[in-house]
Amino acid sequence: MPKLPAPPIPAPLKAPPPRPEESNGATSPVEHAAGAGTAVVDWVDERTSLSGAARWMMFRKVPKGTNWFYTLGSATMFAFLNQAVTGVFLAMFYRPDPSGGAYESVRHITNEVFLGQFVRGMHKWGSTVMVVLVFLHMGRTFFFGAYKYPRELNWVIGVALLILTMVMSFTGYLLPFDQRAFWATTVGVNINGTGPLIGPYLSDFLRGGAEIGSVTLSRFYAIHMLLVPGLIAALLGAHLYLVAKLGTTAPPWQKVEKAPELRETQA
Amino acid sequence: MGSLASKHDKQASKYTLDRHMPGAFEGETVTRRRFMTGSAHAAGVVAAMSFTLPALGFAIGPIFKTKPHTWETVGPTDMFPDNNYIPTVITLTPGIGEAGKGLVYVRQKNPAIDTDPYDKNTPYIAITSRCAHLGCPVRWVPAAERFICPCHGGVYDLLGRRVGGPPPRPLDRFYTRVVDVDGTAMVQIGSRFSVNSELQRFSPRDPGEPIDGLGQFAYPSRPSIRR
């Protein structure tokens, strides 16, 4: 059957020209479904230009000799993500109430909530894993000389992240509010107090008063789940940006390979 | 005026017109654009400070809060001998149950042992269980006549003076008094005070802070623990 001429309708009412992936609109439903993912990504990318950033971040050149030690930073990040995710779900059951409620809520999570023991265990042991990985990552950076120009600022950011990780460990230790938590925090805060002149005031600031009390627990809870995670996430972004921007270093044992035009010709 | 300004003083003049700035007005020293930018920045600073300063004050406020002075009854006078300590529980932080309790070792003042110049403010010797090292709870061991700390091995004698381990000063004490409650003489415990190695009284300090020598200046007492 021959195709009929198009009716003389005004331009604004005409159907839009076919998109490149649509091939005159004559696709079967299967083909249409297969292209849905591409269409969605295209829709987002057309409005955000994110694909360039993703390509810049994901498809970087890495030096020859890159090895498993270079995964320690990512491992640390995944330890942090584990802490973030398990922490959010622990917060759904935890109650920062020093007159017995905090301990009771942790006991409830551990003994009664479905998978509560597992999620709490992931958070508790994950914190130790994160501290260990932070130090291994730091050691890798140090021994490979990866802190040198132009990566000094990334080392500084990394040190800030190390301190924030320690703050997380310190504030998180109080939250179960059992005997160990109470006395460990007592000792920790008093160690802060041994700094001359400002030390005693720092202790008061940490405790929210002269004694460990109701303010201390909610204060540590707020620092642990609101203040420091935000700071860590922000600095982690900056840390990753600089890694992508500056690239990674070759291991120190990697021989420098001269460009072909600089090689001396062997006689 | 602008046309009269020579090239020499063009940079030095404070008038925008003399400096040939676009849109300059006569007698004006700051351009409207510059003024507007400054105003917008100032408004931003004011807006940010309006929530940052109260929040900061809220967070550091407890540092400047003074401790109320309270007396707590711990028992009748005949409950406490003059050669052994009786552990009594007092409330250090009200409203949080067990976590706010603290242990105090109390005995009657014994002129044979307590030769130091005590006044009428301490008819009974009340010694805190808070170790002067880092605040762990010390235990009174009557057989050894020693206070022993479980955390880092601090050891104190009968008067609370350090005889071993890391503590930088003797155990803190409390003011005591005897009041008549319904016809019975009761011992009451008041505020805490610190003592140096000669058992001289000082305003209260936190654990880990030495008082002898320069320590008394390096670790000042604060409103939050002072009456």
Residue indicated by tokens 């320069």: B214
Q: In this predicted structure, what is the pLDDT of residue B47?
A: 97
pLDDT at B6 > cutoff 70:
no
Domain ranges of chain B: 32-63, 72-218
Q: What is the mean pLDDT of residues A72-85?
A: 97
Query: Distance between CA atoms of A119 and A225, rounded to whole angstroms?
Result: 16
E strand or H helix that includes residue B202: strand B201-202
pLDDT at A187 > cutoff 60:
yes
Q: What is the mean pLDDT of residues B16-35?
A: 85
- Kindly indicate the confidence band of residue B95, based on its pLDDT and cuts at 50, 70 and 90: confident
Q: In this predicted structure, what is the pLDDT of residue A93?
A: 95
Numbered residues of chain B with Cβ closer than 8 Å to any chain A Cβ: 59-60, 62-63, 65, 67, 92-93, 95-100, 134-137, 151, 205-209, 218-222, 224-225
Paired tokens of A213 = 């009390």
How near does any CA of chain A get to the CA of B26, in Å?
Answer: 48
Query: Residue B78: which region, alpha, beta or left (left: phi > 0; alpha: psi -120 to 50)?
Result: alpha
Stretch among A29-33, A207-211, B80-84, B189-193 having the lowest mean pLDDT? A29-33
Q: In this predicted structure, what is the pLDDT of residue B62?
A: 81
Q: In this predicted structure, what is the pLDDT of residue B2?
A: 46
**Which residues 102-121 of A have a C-beta within 8 angstroms of B?**
none
pLDDT at A110 > cutoff 60:
yes
Based on the number of CB atoms within 10 Å of its own CB, is B196 exposed (0-12), middle (13-18) or buried (19 or more)? middle
Mean pLDDT is highest, among A56-65, A85-94, B98-107, for A85-94
Q: Confirm or reject CATH 1.20.810.10 for domain A67-246, answering yes or no.
A: yes
Q: In this predicted structure, what is the pLDDT of residue A85?
A: 97
pLDDT at A157 > cutoff 50:
yes
Paired tokens of A82 = 């584990």
pLDDT digits (tens, 9 = 90+) for B199-221: 888 989 999 999 998 988 998 88
Residue indicated by tokens 């050894």: B144
Answer for the pair B20, B4: CB distance below 8 angstroms, yes or no. Answer: no
Answer for the pair B177, B186: CB distance below 8 angstroms, yes or no. Answer: no
For chain B, the average pLDDT equals 87
Position B202, amino acid: F
Query: Distance between CA atoms of B208 and B139, rounded to whole angstroms?
Result: 18
Percent of chain B with pLDDT over 70: 92
Whether omega for the bond prior to residue A150 falls within 30 degrees of 0, making it cis, is yes
Q: In this predicted structure, what is the pLDDT of residue A30?
A: 82
C-alpha to C-alpha distances, A245 to A52, A157, B222, nearest whole angstrom: 14, 15, 49
Query: Distance between CA atoms of A15 and A161, rounded to whole angstroms?
Result: 55
Does A8 or A21 have the greater pLDDT score?
A8
Domain ranges of chain A: 67-246
pLDDT digits (tens, 9 = 90+) for A55-69: 999 899 899 899 999
Binary contact (A98, B60; C-beta < 8 A): no
Q: In this predicted structure, what is the pLDDT of residue A28?
A: 76
Query: Distance between CA atoms of A173 and A169, rounded to whole angstroms?
Result: 6
C-alpha to C-alpha distances, A64 to A56, A241, A251, A254, nearest whole angstrom: 19, 21, 8, 8
How near does any CA of chain B get to the CA of A170, in Å?
Answer: 16
pLDDT at B82 > cutoff 50:
yes
Q: In this predicted structure, what is the pLDDT of residue B1?
A: 45
Query: What residues contact B175, with CB distance under 8 A and at least 6 apart?
Result: B121, B122, B126, B189, B190, B191, B193
C-alpha to C-alpha distances, A112 to A86, A107, A182, nearest whole angstrom: 17, 8, 24
How near does any CA of chain B get to the CA of A83, in Å?
Answer: 26
Answer for the pair B47, B89: CB distance below 8 angstroms, yes or no. Answer: no
Does A98 or A126 have the greater pLDDT score?
A126
Query: Distance between CA atoms of B18 and B28, rounded to whole angstroms?
Result: 10
Q: In this predicted structure, what is the pLDDT of residue B227?
A: 54
Answer for the pair B70, B176: CB distance below 8 angstroms, yes or no. Answer: no
Answer for the pair B177, B188: CB distance below 8 angstroms, yes or no. Answer: yes
Q: In this predicted structure, what is the pLDDT of residue A12?
A: 76
Query: Distance between CA atoms of B88 and B102, rounded to whole angstroms?
Result: 8
Residues of B in contact with A213 (CB under 8 A): 93, 95-96, 99-100
Answer for the pair A166, A172: CB distance below 8 angstroms, yes or no. Answer: no
Nearest by CB: B95 against A205, A210, A214: A214
| Best mutation target, B224, B225, B226, B227, to test chain A (most A CBs within 10 A) | B224
Does A260 or A205 have the greater pLDDT score?
A205
Stretch among A232-241, B5-14, B116-125 having the lowest mean pLDDT? B5-14
Q: In this predicted structure, what is the pLDDT of residue A69?
A: 95
What residues are paired with B164 via a beta bridge? B155
pLDDT at B39 > cutoff 50:
yes
ipTM of the complex: 0.81
Query: Residue A97: which region, alpha, beta or left (left: phi > 0; alpha: psi -120 to 50)?
Result: beta
Q: In this predicted structure, what is the pLDDT of residue A25?
A: 55
Paired tokens of A24 = 């005159």
Q: What is the mean pLDDT of residues B74-88?
A: 92
Q: In this predicted structure, what is the pLDDT of residue A260?
A: 78
> What is residue A10's three-state secondary structure?
coil
Q: In this predicted structure, what is the pLDDT of residue A121?
A: 97
**What is the DSSP secondary structure assignment for residue A152, as one 8-state letter?**
H
For residue B65, the chain A residue with the least C-alpha distance is A209
For chain A, the average pLDDT equals 90
Residue indicated by tokens 């604004």: A12
- Kindly indicate the confidence band of residue B127, based on its pLDDT and cuts at 50, 70 and 90: very high
How near does any CA of chain B get to the CA of A175, in Å?
Answer: 13
C-alpha to C-alpha distances, A104 to A20, A107, A177, A184, nearest whole angstrom: 61, 5, 9, 19
Paired tokens of A179 = 């005997």
Q: What is the mean pLDDT of residues B65-81?
A: 88
Q: What is the mean pLDDT of residues A220-246?
A: 96
pLDDT at B10 > cutoff 70:
no
Quick one: fold of B72-218? Rieske Iron-sulfur Protein (2.102.10)
Q: Residue A70: name the closest of A136, A7, A26 by CA.
A: A136
Paired tokens of B15 = 């008038």
Q: What is the mean pLDDT of residues B66-78?
A: 87
